Chains A and B, each alone.
Chain A
Amino acid sequence: MILAKAKQPFNVIAVHIVLLTYTFIALFPVFIILVNAFKSRKAIFNSPLALPNADTFSTIGFEKVLSKADFLLLFGNSLLVTVVSLFFIILFGAMLAWALSEYKFTGRTLLGLFMAIGIMIPIRLGTVSILEIVVALNLVNTRTALILVYIAQGLPMAIFILNEYMSQIPKELKEAARCDDVSEYQIFFSIILPLARPAIATVAVFSMIPIWNDLWFPLILAPGESTRTVTLGIQQFIGQFVTDWNAVLASLTLAVIPILLLYVFFSKQLIRGLTAGAVK
């Protein structure tokens, strides 16, 4: 009667049922897409829930998609834009965060507040003017335009996270270096940056996803054939294929798989980054 009482203060089975149900809800749509992308058109409609088997297996969708669109180019563009943006967000963000946390200079608080505006106010709202600037700089349809905008978009959050972290780096470390007459640049690059690695990882995680997935700026600043990113490419591409289910499913799958693969390897870091500070 009193057997299971003291074990857990909650009903384990009920908790698992709720979590399993939600996990199912979260994954089912993705699962459906992935599964049906590898089936013949007939099988997609006749048995959408079944796994592909010898009879129904087909890669016709992928063949169509890959023959019509240069997916490699799309991925290349997305990868380039994301990686270069991330690099500069981290570098410039860390430099600014370091200046703000370490040096006392007039206007420091003001600069901090100025940079913080971007955390709350979405950069999209300046699009009209951004487009004009990009036109004026002759950067329309270039990946550079995207990179510049994404750096501006990512910096505020990066500075916020890095500043918090850097102000906790013990004074003694810097003082010791200064006593050895090490230059301020060396202190930053060879002491502070390596020490800030955990915070940098968090910044990378936070900045990466919105850049990779963004539709707005690629659509407005770089819609050209050669500079399209995956997200935009998929969007435009699926528009052309509305009724070709094989092709649509294959395109979606191609967009999903790299992210899933990346997630398999980096989910730990990503989640640690998201819950950073709280994890004891």
Chain B
Amino acid sequence: MASRSRFPWHILVFILPGFIIYTLFSAWPLLDTMFLSLFKQASSGERVFSGLANYQELLSDPHLSEGFWNALWNNFKFFLVHVLVQNPIGLLLAALLSLKGLHGAKTYRTLIFIPTLLSVVVIGFTWQLILSPLWGITPNFLKSIGLGTWFQPWLGQEHTALLTLALISVWQFVGVPMMLIYASLIAIPDELIDAARVDGASAMRIFWQIKLPLIVPTLGLVTILTFIGNFNAFDLIYAVKGVLAGPNFSTDILGSYFYRTFFGAQSSLGSPTMGATVATVMFLIILMGVMIYFYVVQRRIHRYQL
């Protein structure tokens, strides 16, 4: 057959369209951003190679670095709240939903997932309204359960704003760990649970000693996904707090800091090369997280054949 030796054009045809778009708008920009971070932009628009000067500036120049370290630290706190609140709640909900013979599990699952579908912008404004001292829904609610004095304008105070935003984000995205964990829980064969019941295990013991050890890989996956999501989060902060991530940058995280560095805000001018530097640092942080996940978590944690 002559066609055997012909160049396999069809493979090229299958690959090229996606490959070109992906390369041009995702892979190349990432690489180019890293490259760009090695330049400084003169006011004339001309770019001059400057080695690691941008990084030095970002990490140690008092003007820039203060904001960067603040954003990085805030971002870690933001992530920590997710790990400590979102994932346990997701796990709890998934564990309950996956109980065999529970009526209404599908309905709960469908309803609880709704916030995850809505845009962060909508969620941000919604909570802003609900927590607003002006409207009074929250203060009145707290009053009705006898905790009236607890109310504070949480989103407006420097020491509570970040935590409040993190909790709003948790509230929105709890559906993701819930679904992923739920999926891995229902993949555990029924007979295994039956065997544990025959062995006399209570629902609690079955959860802690049988189900949980078997879904550890999923918990690892959920954690790394949360990490990636948190370390390039932006929308919520921007929607609720605007580009300045107030009050006094107390809600500034890397995503919003990146945006400000790139485009500038109020008095400070934006800089593409400095923006690229921040983006590259974010890239490195995420890459580090991903590598830790693959090398430590994935290798140590055994995936059991179910």
Contacts and interface: CB of A to CB of B under 8 A. Distances in A.
Interface stretch (A56-64, A66-74, A96-104, A167-175): A96-104
B135 A148 contact: no
B228 A122 contact: yes
Contact of B125 (A48, A153, A238): A238
A263 B117 contact: yes
Contacts of B116: 209
Given A10-B203, A122-B232, A231-B119, A98 B32 contact: no
Interface of A is mostly: helix
A26 B111 contact: yes
A3 interface: no
B11 A105 contact: yes
A48 B101 CA distance: 38
Given A98-B14, A277-B183, A92 B27 contact: no
Contacts of B238: 215, 219, 235
A204 to B, nearest CB: 14
Contacts of A124: 232, 234, 255, 279
Contact of A252 (B117, B126, B286): B126
Contacts of A230: 119
A128 B276 contact: yes
B21 A216 contact: no
Interface of B is mostly: helix
A111 to B, nearest CB: 7
A129 B102 contact: no
A184 B18 CA distance: 18
A44 B197 CA distance: 52
Contacts of A2: none
B21 A22 contact: no
B120 A213 contact: yes
Nearest to A212: B119
A93 B136 CA distance: 49
Given A48-B135, A48-B136, A279 B183 contact: yes
A15 B24 CA distance: 50
Interface in B97-132: 97, 99, 101-102, 104, 108-123, 125-127, 129-130
Contacts of B18: 92-93, 95-96, 115, 151, 155, 159
A117 B27 contact: yes
Contacts of A212: 119
Contact of B32 (A93, A126, A148, A271): A126
A278 B171 contact: no
Nearest to B37: A128
Nearest to B196: A9
Given A120-B286, A129-B276, A256-B122, A274 B183 contact: yes
B99 A127 contact: no
B203 A130 contact: no
A95 B14 contact: yes
Given A10-B99, A216-B235, A152 B125 contact: no
B99 A15 contact: yes
Nearest to A231: B119
Contact of B26 (A16, A32, A118): A118
A12 interface: yes
A203 B182 CA distance: 19
A122 B251 CA distance: 21
Given A120-B228, A121-B30, A215 B186 contact: no
B96 interface: yes
A120 B119 CA distance: 21
B92 interface: yes
B202 to A, nearest CB: 7
A29 B118 CA distance: 12
B26 A23 contact: no
Contact of B25 (A92, A149, A275): A149
Contact of A9 (B15, B25, B203, B255): B203
A28 to B, nearest CB: 8
B29 interface: yes
Contacts of B119: 212-215, 230-231, 234, 255
Q: A123, A125, A130, A275: which has the most chain B beta carbons within 10 Å?
A: A125
Contact of A215 (B104, B111, B235): B235
Contact of A33 (B96, B129, B186): B129
B118 A259 contact: yes
Contact of A27 (B96, B114, B135): B114
Given A45-B136, A238-B125, A275 B183 contact: yes
A128 B96 contact: no
A241 B25 CA distance: 35
A252 B228 CA distance: 28
Q: A9, A18, A88, A235: which has the most chain B beta carbons within 10 Å?
A: A9
Given A121-B283, A274-B179, A155 B120 contact: no
15 contacts: A18-B92, A26-B171, A27-B114, A103-B8, A115-B18, A123-B25, A124-B234, A184-B10, A245-B129, A248-B125, A252-B126, A263-B117, A271-B110, A274-B179, A275-B179
The list of the 7 closest CB pairs from A to B, nearest first, reads A126-B29, A92-B18, A213-B119, A152-B25, A278-B183, A129-B29, A275-B183
